[in-house]
Amino acid sequence: MAVTEILDCLPSKSEIRLIPLFRGVWRLNPYVLIPDAPSGTRAIVTMPEGRLVGRGIDASTIDGANADWMVIGPDGTGTADARATVRTHDGATIYLHGTGRCDLSGGLRADALLIGSASFETSDPRYRWLNKLHAVFRGTVVGNGMAGEGVFHDEYFEVR
């Protein structure tokens, strides 16, 4: 079978849809910077408080388990590695892992747009539907994150 025939058989002819999932808000501690590390400049950003609200979710962070270990490469590309643990209003624990990219060639500025993907893990049967979906997000810092006066606002979408 030729490649073009295989491609014609794929169900990709339907458009990808982004279904709103929830919005998040995360208070940021002052950034911890490790310049000139082997991977680039490392910016560790802990988030002592956060909340996700939206489709079937109302959850707040469990303190001590929330941070982004951002690496800023020599060309200014920021690569996020964010992890958070939240507890829903009805007692379920959900782990969130997000990766993404942003343009930090102008420095760690508040208006940089971070875009990426997110995955979730939970054993609670009420929220296991999150384990099976693929999500994307976009977000930005408002305020002075470097000084610990910033808040990261993001929104999540299920990819279908």
d(CA 91, CA 88): 5
Residue 1 lies in a domain: no
Pairing of strands 135-144, 113-121: antiparallel
Residue 4 lies in a domain: no
3-state secondary structure 83-104: EEEEEECCCCEEEEEEEEEEEC
d(CA 3, CA 9): 10
Residue 9 lies in a domain: no
CATH of the domain at 133: 2.40.160.20
d(CA 134, CA 114): 17
**Structure confidence by residue, pLDDT tens digits, 59-100:** 999 977 899 999 999 999 999 999 999 999 999 999 999 999
Number of domains the chain is built from: 1
Residue 65 lies in a domain: yes
**Structure confidence by residue, pLDDT tens digits, 15-62:** 899 999 999 999 999 999 999 999 999 999 999 999 999 999 999 999
Q: State residue 12's pLDDT score.
A: 60
Residue 23 lies in a domain: yes
> Range of 60's domain?
16-159
Residue 6 lies in a domain: no
Q: State residue 13's pLDDT score.
A: 62
**Structure confidence by residue, pLDDT tens digits, 96-126:** 999 999 999 998 888 899 999 999 999 999 9
Residue 29 lies in a domain: yes
Residue 11 lies in a domain: no
Q: State residue 63's pLDDT score.
A: 78
Q: Which residues of 80-104 are buried (b: 16+ CB within 10 A; e: fewer)?
A: bebebbbebeeebbbbbebebebeb
